[in-house]
């Protein structure tokens, strides 16, 4: 294929993504597109999100119309850095499609990236992407989430790090037998997880409840934790939307759960029908409701946050970055006040509680720079 043409393909967001559909093109044929500019809006089974341009170039050809589902890796557009004949573009597209093979899980090794280990009486499910790197990073999701919350982050960060993302106890495919949802207990599980995987040093990236666990782990296991990247962390103030946690637990229908999940995002259109159904299916698993109630009781007491972590966080001597959405409806971004000046704080405009999903590229750059 010609070196003057660039193939833009359907991205793979998370290990489970097999295909996607273009909802809207945000650039027109003939436009000059810079790397990092929003190119297209894509819907997967789990989420709707914007795809940034992976390269600089002129958008010469859109290869996929809207609302058509295509496999990961399919050609969706062609870039070029100069005016190129239609004949040459069509030949490029034809050669790409002739050689394109739909990704096979077993052949690609994706299936092997979901693993399970047993820590005491708890089975932990996790994904591992990247190997033989000098540094390790562990992603810790928030209340009611799972390791797939990092679909826009783990793959990208794995270019530079050995990455791990876990399902916390009571979540995802890990055991649903939570009896102690305290930050100390969860931090101990992280430490045991690292020990079981022969990890002596690791950077933590945590979201919300997971960020609180990360802070606790950094306090309790100082020799293990090298840095923290915290997204909308609990424990830095009293205010929290207690109704979100309660309604997440009690909602039993799609009609009830959808507005609860919409609170997480500044742009509620990110929520898909499949995402809501997946959360409902998770909540119907035996042990989930009780586990969530136990963990909620370690997050909120009397409509206020239970944990007070600001002093502990300020006392840490490792690099810390905090990322918060300006429009976070769950925990307000003003909880970043009165932090140690050494702590880096990024408040993202037009962003809710899920910055790692809504503004993944910004979050990924901060994760990489927290050293």
More confident residue, 269 or 90: 90
Q: How many domains does the chain have?
A: 2
Distance CA 160, CA 264 (A): 29
Domain boundary among the residues 102, 120, 155 is at 102
Q: Are residues 149 and 262 in the same domain?
A: yes
> What is the pTM for the complete model shown?
0.81
Q: Are residues 177 and 239 in the same domain?
A: yes
Task: Name the burial class of residue 225, with classes exposed (0-12), middle (13-18) and buried (19+) by CB atoms within 10 angstroms of its CB.
Answer: buried
Q: Are residues 168 and 276 in the same domain?
A: yes
Q: Are residues 238 and 282 in the same domain?
A: yes
Question: For 70-114, how does the pLDDT look when each residue is reduced to its tens digit (9 = 90+)?
Answer: 988 899 999 987 678 888 899 999 989 888 888 765 544 444 568
Tell me how many degrees the CA angle 200-165-333 measures, rounded to the nearest 5: 100
Q: Are residues 326 and 205 in the same domain?
A: yes
Supply the CATH number for residue 50's domain: 2.40.50.100
DSSP string covering 157-187: HTTTSEEEEE--TTSTTS----S---HHHHH
Edge-to-edge strand order for the sheet containing 69-71?
48-52, 38-43, 19-25, 69-71
Domain boundary among the residues 84, 102, 120 is at 102
Question: For 44-76, how does the pLDDT look when each residue is reduced to its tens digit (9 = 90+)?
Answer: 877 788 888 888 888 999 999 888 889 888 999
Edge-to-edge strand order for the sheet containing 122-129?
114-119, 122-129, 162-166, 136-140, 202-207, 225-231, 320-325, 344-348
pLDDT score of 2 more than 90:
no
Share of the chain above pLDDT 70, in %: 96
User: 224: closest CA among 200, 248, 246?
Assistant: 200
Task: Output DSSP code: residue 125.
Answer: E
Task: Name the burial class of residue 330, with classes exposed (0-12), middle (13-18) and buried (19+) by CB atoms within 10 angstroms of its CB.
Answer: buried
Task: Name the burial class of residue 202, with classes exposed (0-12), middle (13-18) and buried (19+) by CB atoms within 10 angstroms of its CB.
Answer: buried
Strand partners, 323: 231, 346
Distance CA 272, CA 192 (A): 35
Q: Are residues 135 and 151 in the same domain?
A: yes
Q: Which domain holds residue 94?
A: 5-102
Q: Are residues 89 and 209 in the same domain?
A: no
Strand partners, 41: 24, 50
Q: Are residues 77 and 212 in the same domain?
A: no
Q: Are residues 183 and 114 in the same domain?
A: yes
Cα–Cα distances (Å) from 365 to 32, 77, 156, 270, in that order, read 24, 26, 10, 22
Whether the CB-CB separation of 345 and 339 falls below 8 Å is answered with yes
């Amino acid at each position: 294929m010609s070196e003057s043409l660039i193939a833009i393909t359907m991205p793979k967001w998370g290990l489970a993504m097999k295909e996607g559909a273009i909802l809207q093109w945000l650039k027109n044929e003939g436009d000059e597109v810079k790397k990092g500019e929003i190119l297209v809006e894509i819907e997967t089974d789990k989420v709707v999100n914007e795809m940034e341009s992976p390269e600089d170039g002129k958008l010469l050809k859109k290869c996929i119309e809207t609302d058509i589902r295509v496999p990961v890796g399919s050609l969706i557009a062609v870039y070029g850095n100069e005016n190129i004949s239609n004949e040459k573009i069509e030949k490029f597209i034809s050669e790409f499609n002739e050689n394109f093979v739909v990704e096979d899980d077993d052949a690609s090794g994706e299936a092997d990236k979901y693993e399970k280990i047993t820590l005491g009486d708890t089975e932990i499910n996790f994904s591992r992407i990247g190997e033989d790197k000098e540094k390790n990073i562990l992603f810790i999701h928030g209340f009611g989430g799972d390791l797939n919350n990092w679909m826009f982050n783990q793959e990208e960060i794995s270019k530079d790090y050995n990455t791990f993302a876990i399902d916390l106890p009571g979540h995802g495919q890990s055991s649903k037998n939570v009896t102690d949802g305290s930050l100390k207990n969860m931090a101990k599980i992280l430490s045991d997880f690292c020990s079981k995987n022969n990890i002596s040093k690791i950077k933590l990236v945590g979201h919300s409840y997971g960020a609180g666990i990360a802070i606790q782990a950094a306090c309790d296991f100082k020799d293990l934790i090298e840095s923290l990247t915290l997204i909308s962390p609990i424990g830095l103030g009293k205010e929290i939307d207690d109704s979100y946690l309660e309604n997440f637990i009690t909602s039993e229908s799609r009609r009830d759960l959808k507005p609860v999940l919409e609170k997480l995002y500044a742009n509620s259109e990110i929520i898909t029908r499949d995402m809501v159904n997946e959360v409902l299916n998770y909540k119907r698993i035996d042990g989930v409701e009780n586990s969530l109630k136990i963990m909620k009781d370690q997050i909120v007491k009397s409509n206020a946050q239970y944990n007070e972590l600001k002093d502990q966080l300020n006392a840490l001597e490792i690099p810390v970055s905090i990322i918060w959405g300006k429009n976070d409806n769950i925990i307000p971004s003003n909880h970043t006040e009165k932090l140690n000046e050494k702590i880096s704080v990024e408040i993202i405009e037009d962003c809710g509680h899920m910055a790692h999903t809504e503004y993944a590229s910004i979050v990924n750059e901060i994760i990489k720079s927290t050293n």
